[in-house]
């Protein structure tokens, strides 16, 4: 397909916030991610303030948590932070947005300042379970305006503790003219650089063959990954204006379609792309408007249930991805969570 825009992971980092000294590290990382994305000095400064405020809130109110930073967008210059913690939660969210309100003796400008600086901002909190905040800053663009996104996409991606390379990767190729998207997730076998090379190769090949069906793409991935250590892979094809989703998977990438009150798991066959494949089969599913596609690697337990979080299905995709990662990441493996919802 002729891909007018491509949503892909470009650069990013996940930083644990376990004490106040890591607030500065998070701010420096925010500047680095913004620079890699090509944001202006003013835009990068906004993002750095948001990330520092998010990390400070975690340090003061929740003791520990994480901030996940990434560049994002449909070939646009945008950056996003998903900040998450398992603290006491925010008991009065409306009050917390008012400048001057604080429960920790600070100036009380955190959430209010973050929402004003961000292009898009969302938060989900529950008493005693914690808080997830997502904030995006878009870079300035010259001429032509910004094409309307057809899909709301949220991602949290983190390397195993002690590893610098994440063995899980993803990509979304979007055909604007046809309103079609092809999402690929890959989990390289093992950890470290070799796993990262396998998963990166998988998403590159998937984008090269994005005009084909999910089953054909998975077959291409199996051929292309023979020179690597291999990967579990999953490919989903969907459109903004139709309720049908096609899916094919090989290995232990989990996928589900989630609507209020119900969830349907998608079927993958056993195997490792590049090394072991008995069968590739494509399935079609109903994907109604408002439903989400959730896809994740086995670094995240499949025991999540969004019905346990009242109101979460109404939050943005990044917040949903953050909650699933926060509460179900195994903590001993690379982890990837991708959430997609049709906007139109």
Q: What is the pLDDT of residues 115-144, one digit of tens each?
A: 999 999 999 999 999 999 999 999 876 444
Residues 131 and 158 in one domain: no
Decide if 186 contacts 203 (C-beta within 8 A): yes
Range of the domain at 112: 5-138
Predicted pLDDT at 193: 94
Report if residue 51 sits inside a domain.
Answer: yes
Residues 93 and 117 in one domain: yes
Residues 161 and 291 in one domain: yes
Residues 58 and 99 in one domain: yes
Residues 182 and 115 in one domain: no
CA distances from 219 to 166, 202, 252, 280, 297 (A): 24, 11, 16, 7, 19
pLDDT tens per residue, range 27-83:
999 999 998 888 999 999 999 999 999 999 899 888 789 999 998 755 567 899 999
Q: What is the mean pLDDT of residues 83-99?
A: 84
On the question of pLDDT at 252 being above 80, the answer is yes
Predicted pLDDT at 141: 60
Residues 227 and 332 in one domain: yes
Q: What is the mean pLDDT of residues 237-247?
A: 91
Report if residue 144 sits inside a domain.
Answer: no
Domain tally for the chain? 2
The residue out of 114, 138, 162 marking a domain boundary is 138
The residue out of 138, 173, 196 marking a domain boundary is 138
Q: What is the DSSP string of 125-189?
A: EETTTEEEEEEEEEPP--SS--PPPSEEEEEEEEPPTT-SS-SEEEEEEEETTTTEEEEEEEEES
Q: Where are the beta strands (DSSP E) in 192-329?
A: 231-239, 244-250, 254-259, 262-265, 271-272, 276-277, 283-286, 292-296
Report if residue 143 sits inside a domain.
Answer: no
Residues forming a β-bridge with 234 = 185, 249
Decide if 321 contacts 153 (C-beta within 8 A): no
pLDDT tens per residue, range 171-227:
998 887 778 899 999 999 999 999 999 999 999 999 999 999 999 999 999 999 999
On the question of pLDDT at 6 being above 80, the answer is no
Report if residue 204 sits inside a domain.
Answer: yes
Residues 310 and 171 in one domain: yes
Residues 37 and 168 in one domain: no
Q: Which CATH number goes with the domain that contains 240?
A: 3.60.40.10
Q: Which CATH number goes with the domain that contains 92?
A: 3.30.565.10
CA distances from 223 to 226, 231, 277 (A): 6, 12, 10
Q: Alpha-carbon distance 61 to 170, whole Å?
A: 33
Label residue 163 by pLDDT band (50, 70, 90). confident
Report if residue 182 sits inside a domain.
Answer: yes
The residue out of 75, 107, 138 marking a domain boundary is 138
Report if residue 305 sits inside a domain.
Answer: yes
Predicted pLDDT at 21: 87
Residues 317 and 174 in one domain: yes
For the chain, percent of residues with pLDDT exceeding 90: 68
Report if residue 260 sits inside a domain.
Answer: yes
Residues 162 and 264 in one domain: yes
The mean predicted confidence, pLDDT, of the chain is 88
Residues 121 and 163 in one domain: no
Report if residue 42 sits inside a domain.
Answer: yes
The angle subtended at Cα 339 by Cα 273 and Cα 133, nearest 5°, is 135
Residues forming a β-bridge with 254 = 296
Predicted pLDDT at 10: 53
Residues 226 and 318 in one domain: yes
């Amino acid at each position: 397909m002729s891909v007018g825009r491509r949503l892909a992971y470009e650069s990013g980092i996940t930083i644990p916030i376990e004490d106040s000294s890591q607030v500065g590290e998070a701010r420096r990382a925010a500047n680095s991610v913004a620079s890699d994305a090509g944001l202006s000095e003013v835009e990068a400064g906004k993002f750095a303030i948001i990330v520092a405020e998010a990390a400070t809130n975690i340090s003061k109110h929740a003791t520990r948590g994480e901030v996940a930073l990434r560049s994002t967008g449909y070939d646009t210059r945008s950056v996003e932070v998903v900040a998450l913690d398992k603290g006491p939660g925010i008991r009065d969210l409306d009050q917390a947005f008012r400048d001057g309100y604080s429960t920790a003796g600070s100036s009380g400008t955190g959430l209010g300042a973050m929402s004003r600086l961000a292009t898009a901002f969302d938060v989900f909190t529950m008493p005693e379970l914690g808080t997830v905040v997502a904030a995006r800053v878009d870079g300035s663009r010259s001429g032509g305006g910004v094409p309307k996104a057809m899909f709301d996409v949220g991602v949290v991606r983190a390397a195993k503790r002690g590893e610098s390379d994440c063995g899980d990767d993803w990509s979304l190729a979007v055909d604007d003219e046809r309103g079609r998207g092809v999402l690929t997730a890959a989990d390289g076998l093992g950890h470290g650089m070799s796993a990262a090379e396998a998963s990166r190769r998988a998403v590159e090949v998937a984008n090269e063959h994005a005009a084909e069906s999910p089953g054909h793409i998975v077959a291409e991935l199996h051929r292309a990954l023979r020179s690597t250590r291999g990967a579990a892979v999953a490919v989903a094809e969907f459109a903004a204006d139709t309720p049908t989703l096609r899916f094919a998977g090989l290995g232990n990438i989990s996928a589900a379609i989630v609507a209020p009150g119900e969830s349907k798991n998608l079927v993958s066959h056993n195997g490792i792309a590049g090394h072991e494949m008995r069968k590739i089969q494509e399935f079609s599913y109903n994907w109604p408007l408002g439903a989400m596609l959730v896809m994740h690697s086995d670094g995240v337990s499949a025991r999540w249930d969004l019905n346990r979080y009242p109101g979460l299905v109404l939050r943005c995709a990044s917040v949903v991805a953050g909650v699933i990662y926060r509460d179900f990441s195994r903590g001993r493996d690379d982890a990837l969570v991708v959430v997609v919802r049709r906007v139109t």
